[in-house]
Structure 1
Amino acid sequence: MNPLIVALDHPDRAQILAWATDFGPHVGMVKIGLEAFCAHGPDLVRSVHDHAEVFLDLKLHDIPNTVAGAARQCNALGVSLLTVHASGGPEMIAAAVEAAPDVRVIAVTVLTSLDAQTLSVVGQGQDVNTQVQRLAKMAIDAGAAGVVCAPPDLVGVRRVIGDTPITVVPGIRPAGSAVGDQKRVATPEAARAMGATYLVVGRPITCDPTPLKVISRLNGQH
């Protein structure tokens, strides 16, 4: 299994499809997020799926019935992974899992752009590690196939969910790469050592003038 997922975060359909065509044979999956999905919808997902397995990162978060309806539509697209927000609660997660039996539904714990200060501002007073672990255990108990968490949270997450559920880890930055808007990051080697199943890398690949060389280098680091 290739653990590398490349985030194709871009509004231009032609660019996304070019990346999917070029990167597909060399990575585990490509990620379609909100920007691309809002610009081009399910048809883009179908087209990308012709070239690579798709991680559809929509972070669904609504009442259980609404999330179930959305997950059912995603199930029909043939995607491999689909995100929901763990903070939607166990009923919502279970509804998504039931509605999308062919997809591994994974729950986002705490976004990698959030730190303790921001969590306090939005009224979640627990420290980041406590919040992540609580949400991760709840999500797995509700039937999620795994969780999304930041690199520093991995050891604690593995402690509460065990070795079987998958962990999808954004905030991966090869040594020397710019951190950007991510606040909790790690190198690929460090994340894998801490228990990451999949590594999500976006701008360090897509913004590089030689992205296939970056992918080749990353494939040698996991």
Structure 2
Amino acid sequence: MNQSLMVAFDVSDRRAALDLADSLAPGRGKAAKVGMELYYKEGAAVLQDLQERGFAIFLDLKLFDIPHTVEQAMLQLARLGVDYVTVHALGGRAMLEAARRGLERGANESGLPLPKLLAVTELTSISEDVLANQQNCRLPLEEQVVRLAQLAKSAGCDGVVCSALELKALHQQVGDDFFYLVPGIRMADAQVGDQVRVATPAQAKADGATAIVVGRPINQSEEPLAAYECYLADWHNSHSV
């Protein structure tokens, strides 16, 4: 299975999502990241469309609210049969633990597999300057990410979303038995867009990524399947830690 490479379905509506899915066919063994834009437009129905085409679903809504609200939201998301969901690690231990409880209840009540719970550390669009002067964080970026990952692991999360630049420190200080999902993936000659902390697939894998997310280089390509295969080949051309 190729769930080590998840494609961001950051498109505007169901028709665009299905066109992208069909261009990547066959879907079985592949994973689709459905984020806020598509989910808020089309709701759970588009998840079923993609599941019927064989895609695993990474539902990336980055929940961040009081613990009770997050727990009840996760209860509902677990009933959708998705494979991965996200919360913000900055929500704190009580919220992260509540998210886990909600997922477990939803999975148990629906009889569906338990989704992996991934905590977002710092977005790949965040720089040291933004962290210090806008988030007013006293820690360097790498240490901030490590601390948030340690919190997420102790609160019952299955992994974190982080940039490739923090992977070595995360493996050293959080452990190898954790899921490290890395967005901000670009080939060396590609434009980075609004990403700040980026890496190639091979660099991410070499530094210890469990999986990567690729968006615009695939979903805006004239040949999405060829772009997908290019990124997957680069991933396989490296050796993990």
**When the two structures are superposed, what TM-score results if normalisation uses the length of structure 2?**
0.89
* Aligned-pair identity (%): 41
Counterpart AA for 1:105: L
Question: SS of 2:48's equivalent?
Answer: helix
Q: Cα offset for 1:135?
A: 0.1
Which residue of the partner structure matches residue 80 of structure 1?
Answer: 83
- Alignment size in residue pairs: 222
Q: CA RMSD in A?
A: 1.3
Which residue of the partner structure matches residue 134 of structure 1?
Answer: 147
Does the 8 Å CA contact 2:167/2:207 hold for their aligned counterparts? Answer: yes
Q: Cα offset for 1:28?
A: 3.3
Distance 2:49 2:73 in 1: 19
Question: SS of 2:26's equivalent?
Answer: helix
Q: Cα offset for 1:46?
A: 2.1
Question: SS of 1:221's equivalent?
Answer: helix
Q: Cα offset for 1:24?
A: 5.5
Unaligned runs of 5+ in 1: none
Equivalent of residue 190 in structure 1, options 173, 190, 203: 203
Which residue of the partner structure matches residue 61 of structure 1?
Answer: 64
Which residue of the partner structure matches residue 48 of structure 1?
Answer: 50
Distance 2:161 2:126 in 1: 13
Q: Cα offset for 1:95?
A: 1.1
Which residue of the partner structure matches residue 167 of structure 1?
Answer: 180
Alignment partner of 1:117 is 2:129: yes
Distance 1:64 1:196 in 2: 29
Equivalent of residue 107 in structure 1, options 111, 119, 143: 119
Distance 2:99 2:49 in 1: 24
Q: Cα offset for 1:127?
A: 1.2
Counterpart AA for 1:221: D
Kindly provide the CA deviation profile for residues 160-204 of structure 1, in whole angstroms up to 9, marking residues without a partner as x: 221111110000002211100000000000000000011100000
Alignment partner of 1:215 is 2:215: no
Runs of 4+ residues deviating >3 angstroms: 24-28
Distance 1:193 1:170 in 2: 15
Equivalent of residue 37 in structure 1, options 36, 39, 52: 39
Q: Cα offset for 1:217?
A: 1.5
Does the 8 Å CA contact 2:145/2:166 hold for their aligned counterparts? Answer: yes
Distance 1:22 1:75 in 2: 28
Which residue of the partner structure matches residue 111 of structure 2?
Answer: none
Distance 2:49 2:144 in 1: 37
Counterpart AA for 1:23: L
Question: SS of 1:168's equivalent?
Answer: strand
Q: Which moved more, 1:212-221 or 1:164-173?
A: 212-221
Which residue of the partner structure matches residue 17 of structure 2?
Answer: 16
Question: SS of 1:46's equivalent?
Answer: helix
Does the 8 Å CA contact 1:24/1:30 hold for their aligned counterparts? Answer: no
Does the 8 Å CA contact 1:86/1:107 hold for their aligned counterparts? Answer: yes
Q: Cα offset for 1:211?
A: 1.2
Which residue of the partner structure matches residue 150 of structure 1?
Answer: 163
Unaligned runs of 5+ in 2: 105-113, 236-241
Distance 2:24 2:31 in 1: 9
